[in-house]
Amino acid sequence: MNIEIKEQNGSFIGILSGWIDTAVATQFLEDMKPLMDHADKSIELNCAQLEYICSLGLRGLLQLNKESAAKGGTLILTHVEGEIQKILTMTGFIKLFDIR
């Protein structure tokens, strides 16, 4: 699991990659903190290289989404495909995120 955060013109891009399972989910939440701190900005999470996400990981994404909405920022998920799309569809979270 890896998350790479870049800042571009005042907005943030997070590139998620690998396998976010229960074992690394706590670390994932920790790594997301910088984005949480900038929830009032525009944030894009690129899921192109993300292979799997566990329920705890989804919880982190939803918290970030709620935080963004509360602080007037935006969160979009991009390149949601394959297994990740299946998980988001099954859990119904696909309707909770702005996915492009």
Partner 1 sequence: MESIVFLGFNLYAWITIATVLSMFTVLLFTKLRADLVFLSAMGILFVTGVLNAKEAFSGFSSTSVVIIGVLFVVVAGLTHTGVLQWIVKHLLGQPKSYSKAVVRLMLPVAALSSFLSNTTVVALFVGIVKMWSKKLNISPSKLLIPLSYASGMGGVCTLIGTPPNLIISGLYADNTGTAMNVLATTIPGLFCLFVGVLSIIAMRKLLPDRKAPEAAFESTSDYTVELLVPSDNKHIGETIEEAGLTNVNGGSLIEIVHYDDITSPVPADELIMGGDRLVFAGQIDEILDLKKSHGFVNADHHVFTMSEVSGDRQLRTAYVTFGSSLINTKIGNSSFEQDNNMVLVAVARRGNRIDQPPHEVVLQAGDTLLFECPPNVNIHTERLTSQLQFFDSAQVPNIGKKTFISTTIMILMVVLSALNIIPLLQCAFIAAMAMLIFRCCNVDQAMKAINWEILMVFAGSVVLGIAIQKTGIAERLAFGILDVCGTNPIVVMTAICFVGTFITEFISNTAAGAMFFPIMYQAAEKLGYEPYPFLIALMVSVSSSFATPIGSPTHMLVYGPGGYRFSDFMRIGLLMNLIILAANIFIINIIYPLTPLQ
- Taking residues 50 to 89 in sequence order and writing x for each that binds partner 1 by CB under 8 A, - otherwise, the string is ----xxx-xx--x------------------------x-x
One-letter amino acid identity for 59?
Answer: R
Q: Which residue, 8 or 90, has its beta carbon nearer to partner 1? A: 90
Cα–Cα nearest to 65, from 96, 95, 89: 96
Q: What sign does the CA torsion over 31, 34, 39, 44 have?
A: negative
- Asked if 100 interacts with partner 1 (CB under 8 A), we say no
Question: What's the rounded Cα separation, in Å, for the pair 42 and 38?
Answer: 8
- Asked if 91 interacts with partner 1 (CB under 8 A), we say yes
Q: In the complex, which residues of this chain contact partner 1 (CB under 8 A)?
A: 21-22, 54-56, 58-59, 62, 87, 89-93, 95-96
